[in-house]
Amino acid sequence: MRKAPTPVTLTNPEAIDTEPTKPQAQRRASGGGGLGRYVLVRFLLIFPTVFILVTLVFFLMRVVGNPITASVGGRLTPTQLQERLHAAGYDRPVIVQYLEYLGQIVRGDFGTTSTDNRPVTEIILQYGGATAELVFYALIVALVLGIPLGMLAAYLRDKWPDVLLRALAILTYATPVFFGGLLLKLVFSVWLGWLPLGDRASTRAQLILDRIENPTGIYLIDAIRTGNGQIISDVLQHAVLPALTLGLLTAGIFLRLVRANMIGSLGSEYVDAARSRGVRESRLVRTHAFRPALVPIITVMGLQIAMLLGGSVLTETTFGWRGLGFELNQYLSARDFVAVQGIVAMLAVIVAVTNFVVDVIAALIDPRVRF
């Protein structure tokens, strides 16, 4: 007869529940999966991202020659041109220029324009607020239109409103920014006369805003500081068409993203369980299905801000919105490559930092992102 096994007595029965498993202990010891390590890694990724973008811009600008020859070479004698090249250091090897340019960026010096001899940092400080204001307006338009319409499309899946909204999303994304802007100007400014054709403010409002002490460059804030309701209304009216033009580009992406994620959430087990408990369908859409679908939207938002900054070049040019995009187009036309590479490098820094902030927000909302 086989002997019965000897029972094992646990001296600490709670050890099973409280003792972490070996992989968990190793991960806690190394800090893996923690918010602190995730934030640190994402922050460190800013530097190689900016480095790669700055390097690409620098060498692409040098493919067509040096900036001085490209911008003012035809208006100078050969002797004057050589003097300008030597003074600016463009007669040295490209690798030496590149290393010196990296050193300037580390010190916060993005160069001096060759056409009007202005520091690029000064241009960024003067016109950066206008671009930031336009991107903010466009992001509000994209969120206000894209998220509710995406929820509606998911709720009415495969019905005619869903088909119409999907087609609208594709149309807004595929329409060139400049064409959409011209079309909106034709309809709302020329035909209906409801909104201004362009600029950031009317001449009267512009004169008042220019007299403000220590202006921010963001007209809405400066208009609020004046305490004049007519100035505030004037600034907002001028912002409607540019914001719609740029915001519709991203609204279509948000619409399709929200729709796809909410369809997956509505078919999940926890939503079915809530539905079986008698939870109203509208509440299921607003809370149970929408919140899990929000994380991918926040993650993609960082990439969309980069797209908005790129689209702001054409939008600002179309509406005469004096921001970094408008100035960048002017310097491109003047072939001032120092200004172009300085502005693009600064935009690269803004995009990298914005993506870092968005990643941190996504990690705070959903801990699964950290792993």
Distances (CA, A) of 251 to 261, 287, 307, 308: 15, 21, 12, 11
Task: Read off the pLDDT band of 14 (50, 70, 90).
Answer: very low
With contact defined as beta carbons under 8 Å apart, do 296 and 187 qualify? no
Specify the pLDDT at position 195. 92
| 369 and 361 Cβ atoms separated by less than 8 Å | no
pLDDT, residue 370, reads 56
Query: Tens of pLDDT along 127-172?
Result: 988 998 999 999 899 989 988 898 888 888 888 988 999 999 989 8
Show Cβ contacts of residue 325 under 8 Å, excluding neighbours closer than 6 positions. Answer: 131, 309, 312, 313, 314, 315, 316, 317
Q: Give the global pTM.
A: 0.79
Range ranked top by mean pLDDT from 185-189, 267-271, 296-300, 361-365? 185-189
Nearest to 311 by CA among 301, 300, 324: 324
CA dihedral 179, 206, 333, 127 (to 10 degrees): -100
Spatial separation of the C-alpha atoms in residues 184 and 312, rounded to whole Å: 16
Residue 91 reports pLDDT greater than 80: no
**Average pLDDT, whole number, for the chain?**
80
According to the model, what pLDDT value does residue 98 have?
Answer: 87
Q: Count CB atoms within 10 A of the CB of residue 129.
A: 19
97-109 per-position pLDDT tens digit: 888 888 888 888 8
Residue 371, pLDDT score: 53
Identify which has the larger pLDDT, 257 or 292: 257
> What is the rounded CA–CA span in Å between residue 198 and residue 103?
39
Task: Please give the residue that has the higher pLDDT: either 265 or 323.
Answer: 323
Contact of 321 with 311, CB cutoff 8 Å: no
User: Do the Cβ atoms of 57 and 343 come closer than 8 Å?
Assistant: no
Rounded distance between C-alpha atoms, residue 91 and residue 165, angstroms: 57
Say whether pLDDT at 32 is over 60: no
Looking at residue 194, its pLDDT comes to: 92
CB of 347 within 8 A of CB of 166?
no
**pLDDT-based confidence at 231, cuts 50/70/90?**
very high
**Range in 61-65, 69-73, 345-349 the model is least confident about:** 69-73
**Among 117-131, 180-194, 227-241, 356-370, the least confident range:** 356-370
Q: Cα 124 to the chain's mean position, in Å?
A: 17
Q: How far apart are CA 53 and CA 134, in angstroms?
A: 23
